[in-house]
Amino acid sequence: MSIPPAALRMVEVSGAEALWLLEGSSLGRLVYAQRELTVVRPGRHVWEYGRLVVRTPVPAPAVPATATYQVDEIRAVAGTGWTVTVSGPAEVITNPDEAAHYLRTLSGWTHGPHDTLMRLHPKTVSGFRLARAEV
């Protein structure tokens, strides 16, 4: 005999809580448009000095002027989890000393010209937490 799944709903969280969830994770995905198609690439990130630094397998010329970065942790069996989306202007990190620091601290996906470090300046932050629906 199986137990019916619990009714779940998404509850919006405050911006401060969304940033706290983002800061506590390290894996996400970069979402941007390229040639009228939506591109999704994995990324590792760190939140420092009010900016999000992302290491992702995207060629540097393809980094968009405005990017969206998504992070989530969903545990479907337990019916818990959260999702955070950050959007804003993005720039490639070109300073060699700064790039060397982040290449050491953020594990990469590939090595070579397609492994890019970028800085995202958040303009919008939204987050949701998965919660059980009231019966």
Residue 76's pLDDT is 73
Residue 61's pLDDT is 87
Structural domains in the chain (count): 1
In a domain, 75, yes or no: yes
In a domain, 122, yes or no: yes
Residue 78's pLDDT is 72
Give the range of the structural domain holding residue 43, as residue numbers without chain letter: 12-107+116-130
In a domain, 3, yes or no: no
Q: With the C-alpha atoms ordered 72, 15, 60, 98, is the resulting torsion angle positive or negative?
A: negative
Mean pLDDT taken over the chain: 86
In a domain, 91, yes or no: yes
In a domain, 1, yes or no: no
Kindly report the CATH number assigned to the domain that includes residue 64: 2.30.110.10
Which stretches of the chain drop beneath a pLDDT of 50? 1
In a domain, 68, yes or no: yes
In a domain, 22, yes or no: yes
The answer to pTM > 0.75 is yes
In a domain, 7, yes or no: no
Q: d(Cα 60, Cα 75) in Å, to the nearest integer?
A: 34
